[in-house]
Amino acid sequence: MSPDLLGHISFSWEFFASLLSIILIDLILAGDNAVVIAMAVRSLPRRQRQKGILLGSGAAVLLRVVLTFFAAQLLQTPYVKFVGGLFILWIAVKLFVEGTPGEEVHREAHSIWQALWVIVVADITMSVDNVLAVAGASKGNLFLLIFGLGLSIPFVVFTSSLLSILMDKYPIIIYIGAAVLGKVGAEMIVTDPVVVAHFASPPWFQYTMEALFAVGVIAVGKLWVRHKVSSRK
């Protein structure tokens, strides 16, 4: 395999501009995945959390490598983002209910594999845009693409580890995390090719829907918690 095919390292301004862009993209986009991982492992015993974070982050990166070859096609496939957005909304409510403090809800101890399953399902639906952003910034340089995918591992591990600790100390972060996932789910649904083709909506409509779904997942989660509490009395 030739060096050109593998990409190359140069000292040109274009190379360093692409490198900086990829680092910034990884920093920004690591947040969504970190929120899912942190909320998913919060139901695990503390000794297993770090293992869950490492496995979840590794699975996330492996999925991104696979999705790199199909990302553009997947984004143009009708209903893929729509269904993915619904999955994210369901996961947001589920993780909110399991992590909400101060409620008398019986929570079963989850296994590390149950947490990993939630992480993988969420990451499959959330990573397509992330992969395309890194692939676009790499401008065909395979070295930069691999670098960007690899760099996301420490970013996601560090961010999710920090969030899982902060969620124990500051429960309000669970609400913020659920709202973030609600916003991501709404964005995926509204930007699905079928929705875009049938509803030529202005930009403010997307922002409004993102805000509504961000609040909506918390409202649905609170109602679910109350129902579970009342059903046990």
Domain boundaries, the chain: 11-232
Interior/surface letters 25-48, b for 16+ CB within 10 angstroms, e for the rest:
bbeebbbbbbbbbbbbbbbbeeeb
Residue 216's pLDDT is what? 94
Residue 17's pLDDT is what? 77
Residue 52's alpha-carbon distances to 48, 181, 191, 223, in angstroms, are: 6, 20, 31, 29
pTM beyond 0.75, yes or no: no
> What are the backbone angles phi and psi of residue 197, rounded to the nearest 5°?
-70, -35
Q: Are 224 and 95 in contact (CB under 8 A)?
A: no
Residue 232's pLDDT is what? 65
Residue 220's pLDDT is what? 92
Tens of each residue's pLDDT in the chain, 233 residues: 444 444 456 666 777 777 787 777 676 666 677 787 788 887 777 778 888 888 877 777 777 777 766 765 666 678 877 887 888 888 888 878 876 655 544 444 467 787 777 777 777 666 666 676 676 677 667 777 777 777 777 777 788 888 878 877 887 888 888 888 888 888 888 888 888 888 777 888 888 999 999 999 999 988 888 877 677 66
